[in-house]
Chain A
Amino acid sequence: MTLRVNGADHRLAVEPRVSLLDALRERLHLTGTKKGCDHGECGACTVLLDGQRAKSCLTLAVMQDEAEITTIEGLADGDRPHPVQDAFIRRDAFQCGFCTPGQIMSAVGMLRERSRPTDAEIREGMSGNLCRCSAYPNIVAAIRDVAHGRGGPGDDTDERDEARR
């Protein structure tokens, strides 16, 4: 079968039982997508299928041969990070980094589903992604930045926030 991942076609032979997650990691060696729970509960396996966020452990590779799959490896534009990646760095939205690819992919997908979410809506929208290091406040801040057009070059929001504290 063929999987189209980050714009490139990959031919592979997999048994029907193989999850998309396992195919990405074990067969295509795209290990940016993580296996946290393998039950669809933690969100570390989140990828985009035809631009929509999905949990790759909850689908079979054989079911996705017509999908445009985007993984964390395919998010940046060459050397330029995606705005969500950039915001995660600026806002220190990770500690160990294990949940981070899934958080980023989920955030990208969520922001396509909902424009200008409130913090409460961000938390609700991201409830499918767990972070055991509890980077949640900074994850929310990073997503807030992107959602509300903050955090790019010339944005002095951080300095103003700091001055207020």
Chain B
Amino acid sequence: MNEIRYVRAATPAQAVALASAEPTTAYVAGGTELTNLMRDGVHVPGLVVDVNRVAERGIEWQPGRVRIGALARMAEVARDAEMRHRLPVVPAALLASASGQVRNMASIGGNLLQRTRCWYYRDTALPCNARVPGSGCPALDGENRWHAILGGSESCIRVHPSDLAVALTALDATVLTQGPGGARRLPIETLHRLPGDAPHRETVLEHGELVVAVEVPATAMAAHSRYRKVRDRASFEFALVSVAVALELRGRTVRDVRIALGGVAPRPWRAREAEDVLRGERLTDAAVAAAGAAAVRGAVPREHNAFKLDLVSRTLTGVLDELGGGR
């Protein structure tokens, strides 16, 4: 059996240096993902670098925005009173995720970087282009109920499972990193790569690049936001489909809107066509229905997940109704 070494980093620079020196390094924060990936043989690092003491852990409110440390725990962010008031979609997404125990352990950074729940990916006995490039994608013609209707390719139709990532996508968040090439600011939409023909590359992060914080603009639109998650169980289950909406109304007219979809794509999916349908328009039945339809335009259903198209449309219209105060 291969040896796994463990080191505790004291600073971000030290973490990056350790990782840069060892190509099989994995960072660990909460450990709720890595332990399973290691146990299942999906990702077995040669070196585990514990980053719990190196990066920010707090929630810092600045004028017009909040900075959330990557090492903040999901539970800590979810119960922050100001977060509930100013960015309600964030605690809503966090509380819809995982279980109480996992939320106490899991970090914000780790949550964004968690890997797909695709059962072919997570089972080393089965082919998977993301895990073993070139081995094939059994999901394309297999058990694909949970898989993507948007953003997939003929190499991979995985779905990204993070609820928080969907909420942050609807809030135009920025991910702050520190890596071998220095510090970067990544719009959250650019963090996760679409599989294309290189599905084994899941994010744009370089090896050793550490997520240190997330910045979120705290706008009036963000304060009027919701998250709705649709799934087979009422709790402790990943999304079949989820929707995050931030909506700014002036009277009944949509001044601005952000819509992000979860459970449908390899990364949270900004429904820009749906936003364009609504922006500047009155929030009527017809406009809401049009947004629902626009959100899935161009979607590619598979044998077992065509239901997601209607489910996305209805979930979106439901959330718009809720934010619009009912029709």
A: which residues have CB within 8 A of B? 15-17, 19, 38-41, 43, 46, 49, 52-55, 57-60, 62-63, 106, 109-110, 113, 123-129
| Contacts known (A16-B48, A113-B75); A125 close to B100, Cβ less than 8 A | yes
A109–B28 Cα distance when bound, in Å, is 24
Nearest 7 pairs of A and B residues by beta carbon? A128-B99, A16-B6, A127-B235, A127-B236, A59-B31, A58-B32, A52-B104
Number of A-B residue pairs with CB-CB distance less than 8 Å in the complex they form: 86
Q: How far is the CB of A40 from chain B (nearest CB, A)?
A: 6
Query: Shortest distance in angstroms between B122's beta carbon and chain A's nearest beta carbon?
Result: 10
Contact check, A58 vs B6: say whether CB atoms are below 8 A apart: no
Q: Beyond A17-B4, A113-B75, is A55–B235 a contact (Cβ under 8 Å)? A: no
Cβ contacts A to B, 21 pairs, < 8 Å: A15-B3, A39-B36, A49-B104, A53-B104, A54-B105, A55-B102, A58-B101, A59-B31, A60-B31, A62-B6, A106-B101, A109-B100, A109-B104, A110-B100, A113-B79, A113-B100, A127-B99, A127-B234, A127-B235, A127-B236, A129-B99
Report which of B5, B38, B39, B104 forms a contact with A54, defined as CB distance below 8 A: B104
For A55, what are the chain B residues with a Cβ–Cβ distance below 8 Å? Answer: 32, 101-102, 105
> Which chain A residue lies CB-closest to B79?
A113
Most buried by A among B5, B98, B236: B236
Is B35 part of the contact surface with A, judged by Cβ < 8 Å? Answer: yes
**A116 CA to B58 CA, complexed, in Å:** 27
User: Which B residue sits closest to A50, measured CB to CB?
Assistant: B104
Count of chain B residues near A, Cβ 8 A: 27
A15/B100 contact (C-beta < 8 A), A59-B31, A60-B35, A63-B31 known = no
Please tell me if B50 contacts chain A, counting CB pairs below 8 Å.
yes
Query: How far is it, in angstroms, between the C-alpha of A43 and the C-alpha of B103 when the chains are bound?
Result: 13
Which listed residue, A19, A53, A62, A63, touches B100 by the CB 8 Å rule? A53
Chain A's interface: helix, strand, loop or mixed, by majority? mixed
Tell me whether A58 and B236 are in contact in the complex, defined as CB-CB below 8 angstroms, given that A16-B4, A16-B6 are known contacts.
Answer: no
Majority DSSP secondary structure for residues of B touching A: mixed
| Interface flags, B281-294, vs A, CB<8A=1, else 0 | 00000000000000
Residue numbers in A under 8 Å from B75 (CB-CB): 52, 113
Contact partners of A40 in chain B: CB under 8 A: 32, 35-36, 101-102
Whether A43 touches B101, Cβ cut-off 8 Å, given contacts A15-B4, A17-B4, A60-B6, is: yes
Cβ of A17 and Cβ of B100 under 8 Å apart? no
In the bound complex, how far is the Cα of B233 from the Cα of A41, in angstroms?
13
Residues of A within 8 A of B38 (CB): 17
- Closest chain B residue to A45 by CB distance? B101
Contacts of A59 in B (CB 8 A): 30-32, 35, 105
**Smallest CB separation, A150 vs chain B (Å):** 22
Shortest distance in angstroms between B215's beta carbon and chain A's nearest beta carbon?
27
- B94 to chain A minimum Cβ distance, whole angstroms, is 13
Contacts of A109 in B (CB 8 A): 100-101, 104
Known A16-B6, A128-B236; contact A46-B35, beta-carbon cutoff 8 A: no
Cβ–Cβ contact A128 & B101, under 8 A: yes
Q: Which residues of A contact B99 (CB under 8 A)?
A: 43, 127-129
Q: How far is the CA of A126 from the CA of B99 in the complex (A)?
A: 8
Residues of B within 8 A of A46 (CB): 101
Check B235 against A124 for contact (C-beta < 8 Å): yes
| Chain B residues within an 8 Å CB radius of A41 | 236
Min Cβ gap B1→A in Å is: 9
8 Å CB contacts to A: which residues of B48-79?
48, 50, 52, 75, 79
